[in-house]
Amino acid sequence: MLRRDFALSLLATGAALPALAQRVAPKEGTEYLRLGKPVPVEAPAGKVEVVEFFAYSCIHCFNFEPLLQDWEKRRPEGAVLRRVPVAFSPAFVPMQRLYYTLEAMNLVERLHAEVFKAIHVERLPLTTPAPITDWVVKQGVDRAKFSEIFNHADTQKKAERAAALQDAYGVEGTPALGVAGRYYVPGQGPKTLTIANWLIMEARKA
């Protein structure tokens, strides 16, 4: 994972992001990459898909999450956010399955940020199935239902597709963004979202 300082910044909040993105064109090849082969998107026609590649165990993703939440509330018109948990090794797979189980149970809004907090503030080892399940149950979630979805073949397939997508985008660290199936933005703190806003505008012109 990238070893950068993702401190909170005023650049990451408020209406200043779109305005700044309109004035400053990011540098291709350094601040973002254009994919050699476009990647399929899930967003409906007329929408620009923004993919956040993250890992619950990544401290930088934990620091980035409040910025992304604020961006989602103020995101450019036509942009849609899709979160994708990465797997740089088999050790990441239980955390991928955790995310997709929360998604299937409509618990992302309530528990996604809480998972980050549990790992990085409370220092809980939510990286293997048993502690993950115990923690989720403590949040008031039915153990049997959670375990059923967590261990379901469909959840594993989603994790495998997530890994394939990170490979297609060439993800080397987290957090990182994919935009419109055409651009890859490596993590650069709050600047990441400024660059994404500019690329969203470019994608809408095409």
**187 lies in a domain?**
yes
**156 lies in a domain?**
yes
Using alpha carbons, list the distances in angstroms from residue 188 to 25, 45, 184. 15, 29, 12
pLDDT tens readout for residues 129-159: 999 999 999 999 999 999 999 999 999 999 9
Cα 157 from Cα 153, distance rounded (Å): 6
Query: Which phi and psi angles does 178 have, rounded to 5°?
Result: -115, 140
**What CATH number is associated with residue 59?**
3.40.30.10
Domain, as residue range, for 165: 45-205
**65 lies in a domain?**
yes
Do residues 205 and 182 touch, judged by C-beta distance below 8 A? no
pLDDT at 24: 65
**136 lies in a domain?**
yes
Confidence of residue 126 (pLDDT cuts 50, 70, 90): very high
Cα 185 from Cα 191, distance rounded (Å): 10
Give the strand pairing for 33-34 and 79-85. Answer: unpaired
Residues 6+ apart with CB under 8 A from 21: 194, 195, 197, 198, 201
Q: Which residues pair with 48 in a beta bridge?
A: 79
**148 lies in a domain?**
yes
**55 lies in a domain?**
yes
Count: domains in the chain:
1
Give the strand pairing for 33-34 and 48-54. Answer: unpaired
**60 lies in a domain?**
yes
pLDDT tens readout for residues 97-110: 999 999 999 999 99
pTM: 0.87
pLDDT tens readout for residues 58-97: 999 999 999 999 999 999 999 999 999 999 999 999 999 9
Q: Sign (positive/negative) of CA torsion 48, 98, 175, 2?
A: negative
**28 lies in a domain?**
no
- For the chain, give the number of residues: 206
